Chain A
Amino acid sequence: MNGASHRLVQVPPGVQCFLGDEARRRRSIEERVVAVFEGWDYEEIIPPLFDYADVFASQALLPKTYSFVGRDGSLLALRPDFTSLLAKIAAGRLAGRPAPMRLYYSGEVLRYEPPRAGRQSELYQMGLEHLGGDPRAADAEVLAIAAECLDVLGVSGFVLALGHVGVFGGLLAGTPLETATLERLRERVEAKDPAGVREALPPGVVPAPVADALVRLTTLSGDAPVLADAERALAFCPPARAAVAELRQVAEALRAAGLGGRLAIDLGEVRGLDYYTGLVFRAYAPGLGFEVGGGGRYDTLLARYGRPMPAVGFMLGLDRLALLLDRQGARPASAAAPPEVVGGNGLGPGLQRAREMRAAGVRLRFEERS
């Protein structure tokens, strides 16, 4: 027993195993989402399951990364996200390919997550990255693709909540704050907790108009008129104002394209992954208490791998989509009709018969005896 304290059928926490209707539903969701990605001319990349640990750029994911020492002593990590890997591939293996590049992936990421709402250690993500090209056009394109995926899956009542990390960043640019204070502030803005933002502000460091604007971010969410409110509230701060202008441009393009009813503006959406530099968004739908996916713009990440280029991407969580569709009452992908049974012909002739039927595309069950 090697002193193992568990039974062999026991499952370690955080891992999942799917069968029957659940497995069929997941496969069907994946096929439909991937078809949308292909339909917008994105090319599949199947990246490695692990890579050198320093390839993965997100500091926030670092404590959640399963890392280990390779045979040659190098520090390796199981992929905690795909974006870093695709950026590395775009800058390395695809260095000669002209921008823009449209790439997608579908597979598991591994993270150490304490058990809580909607989180597992093994997550199945389907996502895409739009590297290079006109930034606003790319922003609008990936949002339209995200909306199409959710439409194709039959998700009802979904909303894409759009924010911009440049609002928070712009307001605090040049203000000397300790990292811990900055993170605390960001977290309280994200929690839409005006009292908490006030409390997290160190006295006398942040100018009063900036402090007021930070508090205001907790309530600047909703329909399009929020953008006008934001422009007024942030008028004194050109970088924050520029961020809102970017959001407006993207939101107006999507509205003109018929997606207005799917949008929400949320200027308190400031957290995201730490490599995000611009637009950030999350997709919500009634029936699931947390987002089914999200994404954002990361204009400085590619430079890390030696090929500076603006980029934007998003991902949908397969686990969350399956849960959401179940809660919204979508019928599971049904099992196929019962197979034809091949039997009673003797092993050799029976196998021959089965092969002929398979060549004709018949679904069968082989029940010969030797």
Chain B
Amino acid sequence: MSLTIALSKGKLLAGAEDLFRKAGMPFPASEGRRLVVPVDGLRFLLVKDMDVPTYVEHGVADCGIAGRDVLLEMEPDVYEPVDLGFGRCRLVVARPRGASAATGASTVRVATKYPRVASAHFLERGRSVEVVRLAGSVELAPGLGLADCIVDVVETGRTLEENGLEVVEDVAVSSARLIVNRASYHARREEMSGLVRALEKARTA
């Protein structure tokens, strides 16, 4: 049986393709409609970024590529042997420019796609928090009065700027990680370590 690899259809796909090509490994042709794509002895699953850890944790995929931001949020019980280096971004707290830290009194209202990360961040600092969970366009929330601030990923900071927000705190740095199912790692050791080595080499090449 071939190894199954879960990839996110989102922004990490291009970086994953570069890396696989550099490693001389097969990769699905440009994004089609198929979500399960067999290519030259590997099987690829194309899923939503937040779902990659789930497929790998359950062993439906032997391994996958997920951003560290997603791993921090989902906390899957998987191995994370390689920092693949691409897809670098920061998870930050951002607030409307010029808003004072005291806004929102004792409880911080935060809009985010990362409810677990966001609430842990404030609770660990002794701040009460009310998380407003959104699926996208998080930057709109403070301007519309839905939240005092947001926790989200930023690459260049342009989107924040265009929505009148500024970064006030770093929560974590993120990049793409290779994640591996724990049982596949041990029970399919040869194939798995071959793949890990190939990707590691391609990354440093």
- A interface with B by C-beta (< 8 Å): 116-118, 157-159, 161, 191-196, 218-219, 221-222, 264, 266, 284-291
Query: Is there a chain A Cβ closer than 8 Å to B99's Cβ?
Result: no
Choose the segment among B15-23, B36-44, B130-138, B182-190 that binds chain A (4+ C-beta atoms closer than 8 Å): B182-190
Query: Is there a chain A Cβ closer than 8 Å to B66's Cβ?
Result: no
User: Which listed residue (A117, A118, A194, A286) contacts B184, Cβ 8 A?
Assistant: A286
Choose the segment among B75-83, B87-95, B103-111, B143-151 that binds chain A (4+ C-beta atoms closer than 8 Å): B75-83
Q: Secondary structure at chain B's binding surface: helix, strand, loop or mixed?
A: mixed
Query: Is there a chain A Cβ closer than 8 Å to B59's Cβ?
Result: yes
> Judging by beta carbons under 8 Å apart, are B59 and A288 in contact?
yes
Query: Is there a chain A Cβ closer than 8 Å to B128's Cβ?
Result: no
Indicate the size class of the contact surface on chain B.
Answer: 20 to 34
Q: Provide the residues of chain A in CB contact with B183, threshold 8 Å.
A: 284-286, 288-291
What are the interface flags for B163-205 relative to A under an 8 Å C-beta threshold, 1 for contact and 0 otherwise?
A: 0000000000000010011111111110001000000000000
Known: A193-B80, A193-B81, A290-B59. A284 touches B193 (CB 8 A): no
Known: A290-B59, A291-B182. A159 touches B187 (CB 8 A): yes
> Judging by beta carbons under 8 Å apart, are A289 and B187 in contact?
no
> Judging by beta carbons under 8 Å apart, are A191 and B188 in contact?
no
- For residue A198, which residue of chain B has the nearest CB? B83
Q: Which 8 A-B pairs have the closest CB atoms?
A: A289-B59, A193-B80, A284-B183, A195-B83, A192-B79, A284-B186, A286-B187, A117-B58
Q: How far is the CA of A292 from the CA of B137 in the complex (A)?
A: 42
User: Which listed residue (B60, B80, B180, B182) contacts A196, Cβ 8 A?
Assistant: B80
> Judging by beta carbons under 8 Å apart, are A161 and B186 in contact?
yes
- For residue A157, which residue of chain B has the nearest CB? B187
Q: Provide the residues of chain B in CB contact with A194, threshold 8 Å.
A: 81, 83
Query: Is there a chain A Cβ closer than 8 Å to B57's Cβ?
Result: yes
Q: Provide the residues of chain B in CB contact with A159, threshold 8 Å.
A: 186-187, 189
- B interface with A by C-beta (< 8 Å): 1, 54, 56-60, 77-81, 83, 177, 180-189, 193
Q: Secondary structure at chain A's binding surface: helix, strand, loop or mixed?
A: loop
Known: A116-B57, A117-B57, A289-B58. A264 touches B186 (CB 8 A): yes
> Judging by beta carbons under 8 Å apart, are B78 and A286 in contact?
no
Q: Provide the residues of chain A in CB contact with B60, threshold 8 Å.
A: 289
**Interface core residue of A158, A161, A218, A285 (most chain B CB under 10 Å):** A161
User: Which listed residue (B177, B181, B189) contacts A289, Cβ 8 A?
Assistant: B181
Q: Provide the residues of chain B in CB contact with A193, threshold 8 Å.
A: 79-81, 177
Q: How far is the CA of A221 from the CA of B184 in the complex (A)?
A: 13
- For residue B78, which residue of chain A has the nearest CB? A191
> Judging by beta carbons under 8 Å apart, are A222 and B193 in contact?
yes
Q: With contacts A193-B177, A286-B1 known, what are 9 further pairs, Cβ within 8 A?
A: A191-B78, A192-B80, A193-B80, A194-B83, A221-B186, A222-B193, A266-B186, A286-B184, A289-B183
Q: How far is the CA of A193 from the CA of B177 in the complex (A)?
A: 9
Q: Provide the residues of chain B in CB contact with A284, threshold 8 Å.
A: 182-183, 186-187
